[in-house]
Every structure is written in structure tokens, then in C-alpha cells.
Amino acid sequence: MISLFPFDNIREPQKHFMETVYKAISEKKHCIVSAPTGVGKTAAALVPAVKHLLEKKVKRIIFLTTRHTQHRIAIETISRINEKNNISLKIGDIIGKRWMCSQPNADKMRSSDFFEFCKSLRKSDRCEFYMNTRKNSGFTNNAKMVVSQLEKTFSNVERIREFSSELRLCPYEIAIEIIRGADVIICDYQYIFNAGIKAGFLKKSGISLSESVIIVDEAHNLPKRLRDILSARVTTRIIKRSILQAKRYKENEVIPHLVKVQDAMNFLSHNIENEKKVKKQDFLNLLWESQDDYDNVVSEMSDAGERVSEQSRNSYLSSVARFLEFWPKEDAGFVRYIKNEPDNTTLFYNCLDPGLLMGEVISETNSFVLMSATLFPLEMYRDILGFKRDNCYLESYKSPFPEKNRLIQVIPRTTSTFRERNEQQYKSIAKICSDIIASCKGNIALFFPSYAFRNNVLQFIQTEKEILAENKALSREEKDELLKRFKALSNKGAVLLAAASGSFSEGIDLPGDYLKGVVIVGLPLEKPDTEIIELIDYYEKKFGKGRLYGYVYPAMIRSIQAAGRCIRSEKDTGIIVFLDERYVWPLYKKCFPEDWNIEIQPRDYAERIKSFFTSLNKKRLPKNS
């Protein structure tokens, strides 16, 4: 197996990682691996899977990732394995259908709307790209030609889109055709876990999961993604829009049904201050009398929604119909609640148990390899995802980067607990942050428990460096622009303010001098609302670890994930500061990676940061200076 490894040097943890994956696949078992940045996870997971593929013990390798950069890295790794070993593994690369679609502005649509939109265009022969690609359930000559050209080389999504657009073909259909003949498929989680997408994808691409190895990258996100797939919600705002849409598109017969749903939600939310649990039957009793009536209304609404999507890109009616389809489903592993906000009320049917979905896919699949830099504790992931103790290997590795390159501090002087959020607390936090910003040479990022908390502290921060604040409402382009500006300021030094729960805490790579320090302000615990309380209760009953699995560990994972933005390569240097008194409490402290050498600095934190950067500079100076 080692001979397949495509790089010159193989690191010791990589070797162990590969052996574990090889063993798991041989035994038709699974493995969950926590490996920090720098271990070389992608190659370590792919090489043993390729070995099994070459030995014809499995037929496909499916590499699941949400990040575009990971698509590129996986493709490069397979390409190197091919070159080094003179073999010709074929790759199929695909992202979400709406991101591949050639129709203008498809990427701006909500995914449920896009699904209906694409279906209705195809059904009514109104998508020229589809019609140019498929004919009488086969492929057109142009489509065949493009597929054969793309199959000759490694074709990533960009290349598929480029070739397809020249001949006005559907890039999604082209990608699926390439996947039919591919050994290694790189795609998003949805293709394997979303039942509505999975069945069609597996059928069209001819994949059998029982003969496949599924590698899940960034697997710390998997539980949340699975829960989201099984969850549904509806708001009074959406219902109002549905009524307007029904009037506009002359779907008048569904209006009384929508009004009934709206009245039921208003009744359930009457006199509640914020949110409360709702029983399945409480809502059903306010709707239609028999199950048959209920089913008829849902199907009527769904048909009307489909007709609307033939004329409009947003079908609110379909959203309401989808929610009503979900609501009568099972109670076990779910929470139902209603929430009031100014001018809007939301009814939730949310999944608490990712194992409900994962369990099904595990039973169909030869082997899963789950990997991430922040999969801790490994036992929690095994338990909540539904792996059995005796068929799942757990491994974790230390960071391969030099310890001297980083300074990790805990400053136990302040807290972000809800009951102690007051102006004095914000001022104290801002004072420490200002000191750290001044002591840190270069760019620094501060991650807060929430945007609201960040804004409360921001008003008291004093610095001469430029402050850039990320917020939830920024579009992808605006976020890219913000990061570009942040990088451009790295010589002078700038301050990036973000939320630990936001996309910047894990989706950004700022190597080298682009980021010299990260401060995790407070503990990003979720607000203990109805859903979190139910989650804790559910995990307590199922595993006897409700508070840990439902509350404490997810917050520590967010903290450590955000801290991981700082050191991205062997040569990176920087400081990581955890600013909250609870980080020294045993409950939280034991969650830090074992190989972290953490200094607890109640007072001299700024001096220590300065001396750290001074010592780094000295090491860089030539000996005779």
C-alpha cells in the first residue's frame, strides 16, 4: 500500500492513518479519525481506499466534502496516485445541481425552489440545455462528444461547466454521465444523505453503496447537516406570501387551506412570549378532520406549488406543502415547537438525532471513513451518528507542526455567561482584546459567541488598526471582498471581528502572514432554547451524556475550530488566545487537544505575546546581525 502513496515523504501519523483505513475497509467496518491540519488526511484516506479498489474489493470511492478547495485537493491527490503508479483511475466531480445549472441566476434560488424549477422545465421541454443534452432517454451527439472529451483528462466542475456552456448543454447531466464510469467520485453530502436526491443520483450514476467506500471530509459538520436534512419549518410570513402567490397564479382553491394553516399557527402562538413546545396532534386537530382529508390537501397544495414553479422561480406553496408532508411523521428523535418573533411566527419540526438518517446509510455501505481536525471526543461522533462500538475504529493524531511556532493562552479574567452580560463585562473584555490587538504583530481575528455580543464589545475596543466586521447578511461575494481587504492589510495589521458560529470560523484559510493571531472571546455555547433543552434531554436518555453531547462539546468544537484558523502550515507562526474563565474549568479544559501546551495568563498576557513575537523575530535574524 505504501508504494501507492503519491508524495515523497510519508509522515508517521499518515502511515497509521492509512493502516487504520485499510483494516476498516478489509473488515467492512468503519473508522472515525481526528487529524489536525498538516497530517495529510486526504492522501491518507484515499491511498488505502484505492488499494482496495485496485484489488477489486470495492468498486467506488465516494469522497464527500462541502468545500471547493477540497474538491481540488482530492482530484490532485488521485492524479498523483495515477502518475506515480502508472494507473488510470477515473474521477467524477460534481457539486450541488443548482450551482452547476446553466440557467441564469439558478444559484440565487432556494434549493427546494430550484428542485421544482428544474423539474418543471424538464417536464415541459423548456430547458434548452437539457434538451440539447438528452434525447429519448439517451444522450445527444454533442453531449456524447463532450463526455468523451472530458473523460480523457481529469475534469473538475469548472471544466465540465466550461465545455458544456460552449455547446449549451446541461453541466449536471454531463457530470452524472462522467460519474457513471468513474472510480472516484467527489461530491457534496446531499448526494448520499438527502433521500430525495440520493435515490436518483445512485440510480443514474450506477453506484451501489454496498460496494463503495465513503470518505467524509470535515465530518464534524455531519451531525448538523443530517439533522437539517430531516427537519422542516414553516413561517407565517411564508404562508402570507403563498396566499399572495396563489391569488396571482389563480390557484384560488388552495387559499382556504393556507388560511387554515395560518389560523392554526396564530392560535398555537397566541399569548406565548417567545417559544413553546407543540404536540403533533395539537396542530393536526386545528386542520382537517381525517387523515385522508389532510393527505388530499397536501397533494392539492403540492400540485399547485408545482404549477406555480412553472411560472415563478420561488414557489412558496411548495414550501408549505413540504412542511405539511413532514409534520405527521414520527415523534421519536424530533422536537416540535413554535416561536414568536416580531412580525413572524415559525413552527418547527426539527430532528435531534442524526443517527436516524446515518444509521440507514451505514447499513447500506461497505465502509465509512470520517475525518476532520476537530472530531472530539471521537466516542461522541460514533454514538450520535449510530456506529456500533464493535465495528468502528477511533483514531486521533497530534499536530505535526512545531510547538514553538504557536503561543496558546487562556486568560481567565472575564466571562460571556448570559447572566453576567453587562456593560462592565463588555468593557473588561474590550480592554483585554485591545491589549492583545496592540501586542500582536500583524493581522488578528476575534471570534465572539454571537454577532450581538460582538457588537456590544466592539464599541469599547480601542485600536489604531483597521477593523473589519463580518456579519450574517453578507453575500458570498461580500465575504470574499472582506477577506481580500483583510489580506491586503496584513503588512499594517488589521482586526477581523466575526462570530464563532459564522462561516469565517471554519471556511477560511489565511496562511503565513495573513493571520498572526486568533482570540476566542467567551464560550460559544448555544442559547438554551427549547431545541437545545430537548437535545440535551434526548442525549441524556439515549447515552447518559445529555449536557456534554448536546451543549458543552459542540461549543468547545466551535472554539477549537475557530482557533484552527491561525496555524495552517509548518511555517506559520501565531498566537491563539481563549478569553473566558471557564476555559480553565476541568469540564472545558479537558476538551483541548492533548498536545496543546496551554499557558494560563490571568495578568501578563500582553507582555507574553510581545515576547513571543520578539523571540520569533530574533530567530529569523541572521547570526551576525
Using CB under 6 A as the binding criterion, the count of chain residues that bind ligand SF4 stands at 13
Looking at 500-579, which runs of residues are DSSP E strands? 517-521, 574-579
Q: Cis ω on the peptide bond leading into residue 377 (within 30° of 0)?
A: yes
If the CB atoms of residues 104 and 544 are measured against ligand SF4, the closer one turns out to be 104
Asked whether position 101 contacts ligand SF4 by CB under 6 A, the answer is yes
What is the residue-wise DSSP string for 432-499?
HHHHHHHHS-S-EEEEES-HHHHHHHHTT---SSEEEE--TT--HHHHHHHHHHHHHTTTT-EEEEEE
C-alpha to C-alpha distance for 280 and 278, rounded to whole angstroms: 7
Q: In the block, which residue shows the cell 406543502? A: 321
Burial 88-103 (b: 16+ CB within 10 A, else e): ebbbbbbbbbbbbbbb
C-alpha to C-alpha distance for 45 and 218, rounded to whole angstroms: 13
Q: From the list 42, 65, 103, 350, which residue makes contact with ligand SF4 (rule: CB under 6 A)?
A: 103
Q: From the list 127, 246, 304, 371, which residue makes contact with ligand SF4 (rule: CB under 6 A)?
A: 127
Cβ 513 to ligand SF4 shortest distance, Å: 42
Asked whether position 309 contacts ligand SF4 by CB under 6 A, the answer is no
Show the site string, 267-306: x = touches ligand SF4 by CB under 6 A, - = not: ----------------------------------------
Binding window for ligand SF4 (CB under 6 A); candidates: 101-109, 375-383, 464-472, 615-623: 101-109
- Relative to beta strand 275-277, strand 232-235 is unpaired
Cβ 95 to ligand SF4 shortest distance, Å: 12
If the CB atoms of residues 300 and 310 are measured against ligand SF4, the closer one turns out to be 310
Within 66-206, residue ranges assigned H as helices are 68-85, 97-100, 111-123, 128-133, 141-152, 157-166, 171-180, 190-193, 195-205
Burial 475-503 (b: 16+ CB within 10 A, else e): eeeebeebbeebeebbeebbbbbbbbbbe
Binding window for ligand SF4 (CB under 6 A); candidates: 78-86, 97-105, 481-489, 494-502: 97-105
Asked whether position 397 contacts ligand SF4 by CB under 6 A, the answer is no
If the CB atoms of residues 125 and 289 are measured against ligand SF4, the closer one turns out to be 125
Asked whether position 461 contacts ligand SF4 by CB under 6 A, the answer is no
Asked whether position 122 contacts ligand SF4 by CB under 6 A, the answer is yes
Question: Cβ(169)–Cβ(142) under 8 Å?
Answer: yes
Nearest alpha carbon to residue 309 among 152, 140, 106, 484: 106
C-alpha to C-alpha distance for 185 and 265, rounded to whole angstroms: 44
Asked whether position 161 contacts ligand SF4 by CB under 6 A, the answer is no
Q: Determine the 3-state secondary structure of 186 from DSSP.
A: strand
Which residues, 6+ apart, have CB-to-CB distance to 315 below 8 Å?
113, 116, 117, 245, 305, 306, 308, 309
Cβ 335 to ligand SF4 shortest distance, Å: 34
C-alpha to C-alpha distance for 437 and 193, rounded to whole angstroms: 43
Cβ 181 to ligand SF4 shortest distance, Å: 20
Residue 601 CA: distances (Å) to CA of 270, 445, 575: 50, 19, 13
Question: Cβ(487)–Cβ(510) under 8 Å?
Answer: yes
Q: From the list 50, 61, 170, 178, which residue makes contact with ligand SF4 (rule: CB under 6 A)?
A: 170
Cβ 198 to ligand SF4 shortest distance, Å: 17
Q: From the list 41, 71, 97, 545, which residue makes contact with ligand SF4 (rule: CB under 6 A)?
A: 97
Question: Cβ(186)–Cβ(65) under 8 Å?
Answer: yes
Cβ 232 to ligand SF4 shortest distance, Å: 24
Asked whether position 118 contacts ligand SF4 by CB under 6 A, the answer is yes
Q: From the list 14, 37, 66, 102, which residue makes contact with ligand SF4 (rule: CB under 6 A)?
A: 102
Number of Cβ within a 10 Å radius of residue 250: 9
Asked whether position 129 contacts ligand SF4 by CB under 6 A, the answer is yes
Which strand (E) or helix (H) includes residue 16?
helix 12-26
Q: From the list 44, 61, 73, 121, which residue makes contact with ligand SF4 (rule: CB under 6 A)?
A: 121
Q: From the list 5, 17, 115, 172, which residue makes contact with ligand SF4 (rule: CB under 6 A)?
A: 172
Q: Which of residues 463-492 bind ligand SF4 (CB under 6 A)?
A: none
If the CB atoms of residues 97 and 339 are measured against ligand SF4, the closer one turns out to be 97
Binding window for ligand SF4 (CB under 6 A); candidates: 98-106, 351-359, 524-532, 606-614: 98-106
Asked whether position 130 contacts ligand SF4 by CB under 6 A, the answer is yes
Asked whether position 14 contacts ligand SF4 by CB under 6 A, the answer is no
If the CB atoms of residues 139 and 334 are measured against ligand SF4, the closer one turns out to be 139
Asked whether position 313 contacts ligand SF4 by CB under 6 A, the answer is no
If the CB atoms of residues 101 and 335 are measured against ligand SF4, the closer one turns out to be 101
Which residues, 6+ apart, have CB-to-CB distance to 320 below 8 Å?
234, 238, 239, 242, 258, 261, 301, 305
If the CB atoms of residues 60 and 97 are measured against ligand SF4, the closer one turns out to be 97
If the CB atoms of residues 158 and 423 are measured against ligand SF4, the closer one turns out to be 158
If the CB atoms of residues 170 and 230 are measured against ligand SF4, the closer one turns out to be 170
The binding site for ligand SF4 (CB under 6 A) comprises 97, 101-103, 106, 118, 121-122, 127, 129-130, 170, 172
